[in-house]
Amino acid sequence: MGDFAANTLREQARANALSPDEFLDRAVRYYLSERSSRRLARKLPGFLETISNGRCIALDVDLEEAAWEELEGVAAREGVSVERVLEHALLLLVADLDSGRVAARFVEDASEQPLGDGL
């Protein structure tokens, strides 16, 4: 994960009293749940490839096998790495939390939320 995404992850995790791993897990769950929507925000923007400076952080995201397979499928279809999909998932949740589109309660209750639709 590049500096921008890593810093955003740390800040949001701290603000929500979660570890970075836990916050990213919730972001992935949110992203996968949004994949069935018609929102343009579910599509990965091309500019994410250009914001990394080569430094990275290691994370341990605990997802079910089906969720990982879905992330890998998205990455393959979009022609990007799973890392880019994770960054997009993070930024999507942060933007939607900031705009009020999704309640902060989602972050607290995400382990009970359904995963994506397999698209």
Q: State pLDDT tens for residues 40-80.
A: 666 676 655 544 555 555 666 677 888 889 999 999 988 88
Q: In which band, very low, low, confident or very high, does the pLDDT at 9 lie, cut at 50, 70 and 90?
A: very high
* Cα diameter, the chain: 35
pTM metric for this prediction: 0.75
User: For 78-93, what is each residue's pLDDT tens digit?
Assistant: 888 888 899 999 999 9
* The residue type at 21: D
CA dihedral for 67, 52, 80, 99, sign (positive or negative): positive
